Amino acid sequence: MHKIDGMLYAGLLCEDSREMLNHTTELVLGMIKGQIIISLLLVVAAYATVLPLAAAYTLEIFGNANLDDAVNESDIAYAWDIIAGRVASTELADANRDGSVDEEDITQIEEIINESEESLSLKAFTIYDQSKIVNIPMPVEKIVILNLACAEAIRCLKAEDKVIGIGTSMTEGENKDFFPELSDLPAVGKWSDPDIEAILQLKPDVVIADLRTPDTEKLEDKLAGSGIAVLRMGFTYPDYSMPEMMALGMILGKKDEAAQFTDFAGNYIDLIEDRVSTIQESEKPRVYPIYYTSDNLWKTGSNGSIVDMLCGLAAGDNIAHNLTGGTGGMYPTVDPEWVVEENPQIIFTWSSPGGYSVDNDTQMQELWTRIVEAPELAEVDAVKDRQVHLMTTEVTSRPRWFVGLAYLAKWFYPDQFEDLDPEAVHKEYLEKFQGVGYQGTFVYPE
């Protein structure tokens, strides 16, 4: 899937953008479940004849005329081909977004390549809503970041010096330990409820917020007319996080840093996808992901959630895939009897206690014992076989979600991934991309 995302987007670009996102999500998820590979291949084949070769993904920046993963000289050539009528036009070829592709777009593409453009437009993924086009005045020198995933992404790009304000979560508890250089900056309220006055006083060029939270009424609407752009990015949804990182790299003048990250993460993602690509649907382990909160073992993640995408990539059959409920319809609560009926072979949680500042596994051990000794689960294979695993949100719901993916792949298919060492991947990531040493407790049992 990682490899043909770009083709999917390319093939559906002529559609209404909301439809496109829905179609793409459905297609991608459908493919993960191995249900519609044939129709997908037909879609790909049909468009391959009229559109350029797909890259790993499509960088959704206007000016990326040929819909690959970069804006470069080949986009100038492609835009000239469009103007000459030799190839089909693409939405992103209209670099200045005036409704037609002409020489002014060539000029804008040249300026993007030379990093002298006055503004940059991108299509941001929003997951729960339609995809949204955002116009960013360039260059971007001052940013406010509201959430932790974004702070980690900023560090991946080595762009901390552009941050002038932060959400309060970066000043609290272990986050202060993990982001010492950011935690001392002026705070602008909660990630979910920002203080607009404080943001206006800081006069950033851009505010970067989570995909979904807060509502636009609490952020975009209140900043309208201020000249401050709002960018929504997740950095955690497997289907979108690589193009997001590349787009942010371009916006912050950190293209090379972004490419280093996507190369590093992409290598592990590709390795895992390649190895599980031949596994038949019937051979996939049935898994029950627990969204563990407040001592509750019966909340889970379904279709559209990060954890469901991770299960799909690691070729696990999420028993909750088709359920709906909870936040965004993606975090339903289930009956214990239903779990017993489904009889999962593996149980895991991605929201275990633990983390960067926790130097012992006492709490994780307690939760593990709580699960394997839960009377409701006594007859479930996963418990009988002690196939119960815990990990923390740091390795699933941050830009380093590929570390969580590596753990899942190993838990689902220990033989195929005997040579994969998720802890070593994590350590290398923290040192290379976060500038911190490896410490903490992230999984149980080891």
For binding to Ca ion (CB under 5 A), which residues are involved? Answer: 64, 66, 68, 75, 94, 96, 98, 105
Min dist. Cβ of residue 106 to Ca ion (A): 9
Given the complex with Ca ion, which of 105 and 317 has the nearer CB atom?
Answer: 105
Min dist. Cβ of residue 40 to Ca ion (A): 23
Distance of CA 357 to the CA centre of its chain: 24
Residue 17 is which amino acid?
S
Min dist. Cβ of residue 285 to Ca ion (A): 39
Given the complex with Ca ion, which of 68 and 244 has the nearer CB atom?
Answer: 68
Given the complex with Ca ion, which of 98 and 379 has the nearer CB atom?
Answer: 98
Min dist. Cβ of residue 82 to Ca ion (A): 10
Min dist. Cβ of residue 110 to Ca ion (A): 13
Min dist. Cβ of residue 233 to Ca ion (A): 20
d(CA 411, CA 349): 12
d(CA 434, CA 159): 11
Query: What residue has token string 């819909």?
Result: 67
Residue 399 to residues 157, 177, 234, 262, 273, Cα–Cα distance (Å): 11, 18, 8, 10, 18
Given the complex with Ca ion, which of 182 and 246 has the nearer CB atom?
Answer: 246
Residue 368 is which amino acid?
W
Q: Would you tell me how many other CB atoms lie within 10 Å of the CB of residue 50? A: 10
Given the complex with Ca ion, which of 105 and 152 has the nearer CB atom?
Answer: 105
Q: Would you tell me how many other CB atoms lie within 10 Å of the CB of residue 419? A: 7
Given the complex with Ca ion, which of 66 and 121 has the nearer CB atom?
Answer: 66
Given the complex with Ca ion, which of 99 and 227 has the nearer CB atom?
Answer: 99
Residues 6+ apart with CB under 8 A from 442: 354, 355, 391, 392, 394, 395, 403, 426
Min dist. Cβ of residue 6 to Ca ion (A): 10
Residue 32 to residues 51, 75, 78, 311, 331, Cα–Cα distance (Å): 24, 31, 32, 9, 19
Q: What is the largest CA-CA distance in the chain?
A: 70
Min dist. Cβ of residue 242 to Ca ion (A): 15
Query: Are 360 and 443 contacting, i.e. CB atoms less than 8 angstroms apart?
Result: no
Given the complex with Ca ion, which of 81 and 423 has the nearer CB atom?
Answer: 81
Residue 52 is which amino acid?
P
Distance of CA 217 to the CA centre of its chain: 24
d(CA 382, CA 386): 6
Min dist. Cβ of residue 79 to Ca ion (A): 9
Min dist. Cβ of residue 52 to Ca ion (A): 8
Helix (H/G/I), strand (E/B), else coil: 384 = helix
First to last CA, the chain: 29
Residue 157 to residues 70, 154, 175, 230, 257, Cα–Cα distance (Å): 16, 5, 18, 19, 5
Q: Which two tokens stand for residue 182?
A: 């950011």
Query: Are 121 and 97 contacting, i.e. CB atoms less than 8 angstroms apart?
Result: yes
Given the complex with Ca ion, which of 95 and 154 has the nearer CB atom?
Answer: 95
Given the complex with Ca ion, which of 63 and 332 has the nearer CB atom?
Answer: 63
